[in-house]
Structure formats: C-alpha cells, structure tokens
Amino acid sequence: MSVRDLIPQNWTQNLPWWRGRNTQPVEATPDPFVSFLREVDRLFDDFFRSFATRSPVLPGISGWPGTNWPSVEITETDKAINISAELPGLEEKDVEVLLEDGLLTLRGEKTSTTEDSARQFSERVYGRFERRIPLPAGIDEVAVEAAFRNGVLTVTLPRTETAQAQVKRIPLKT
C-alpha cells in the first residue's frame, strides 16, 4: 500500500468552493486562443487543488497557520457573552486563556503523540495556535469564567450592570 492509496478520490466534491464545478457543457470552439485559456485555467485548478488541504489561498480550509483555528462559536445575551472553542485532542494543561485590553486570547499547543519518522501520511494539525477575539466594552473582567470539558473550551464573559442596562430591544413592525 502506498501513501497515494490513503488519499480520498473524490474529496474535492465535499469542498464548498469546488461544488458545481464543470457543470456547464464544454462547447467545441475552433478558436485556439480560447482553447489555450481553458487549458491554462485547468492547469491552475489542478495546481491549487493539490494544495487544497493546506492552502492559505483557500480561506474555508482550516488547519493552515493564520486561519481561524480553533473554531469558535459566540453567543450573546443581555447578561453575558459566551464563547466556546473546539479543541479536540488537547487537555486543560495545553490551553491558556487571557483577557487584556478588551481582547480575549486563546492560546495553546497541540503536540504529536507519534514520532514523525514513523508517519507516512497525516491530515492532523499540530503546533502552536493563538486566536484573538475582540470584545465589546462593558465586560466584567473580574467575573470571567472558563471551563474545559471533552475538548471544548467555554468562556463566559458577564456584562457589567451598566452594560446590561444599556441593552434595549427594539420591536420590529410589519
């Protein structure tokens, strides 16, 4: 078995930027310049497709340094802002949460459990990460809480009393 056998054959069909490609019938054209342009487009597509799992050019693909990893979900209520981040394969000791000047920083490192010399193919991402999330004014920095369970980090940022009083719901008219 070679490493090439481990790569999924139709993996590009699941990528959002790839769906719907080549759905238009190709019409035969006698113009050699149009044929040349199509061939150049095909070569560029093939080139970037080979790097799709690790390309900074494709923003929807995570795992490349500089992309938005870890994935976060932010919910907001009148009383607090809740941020949860998926950190699979990490433990509490591998994660650091900082709050400074209205900026929440999630920082950590995911280390490999096997030696690189034994690995022939890997889709996993290892290394240091840092995600900075700007926060609105009115956060009670003393009462911030963080919990880490089952690979999910949850940070609760309560609002100050004055910030809670400033929230006003505006009814919609139809």
Q: Give the number of other Cβ atoms within 10 Å of residue 27's Cβ.
A: 6
Pick from 109-118, 140-149, 152-161: least confident: 109-118
- Identity of the residue numbered 39: E
**pLDDT tens column, 39-54:** 888 887 777 665 544 4
The answer to whether the peptide bond before residue 70 is cis (omega within 30 degrees of 0) is yes
Residue 149: partners with Cβ closer than 8 Å, 6 or more residues away: none
Predicted model pTM: 0.55
Sign of the C-alpha dihedral computed for residues 16, 22, 25 and 27 taken in this order: positive
pLDDT at 18 > cutoff 50: no
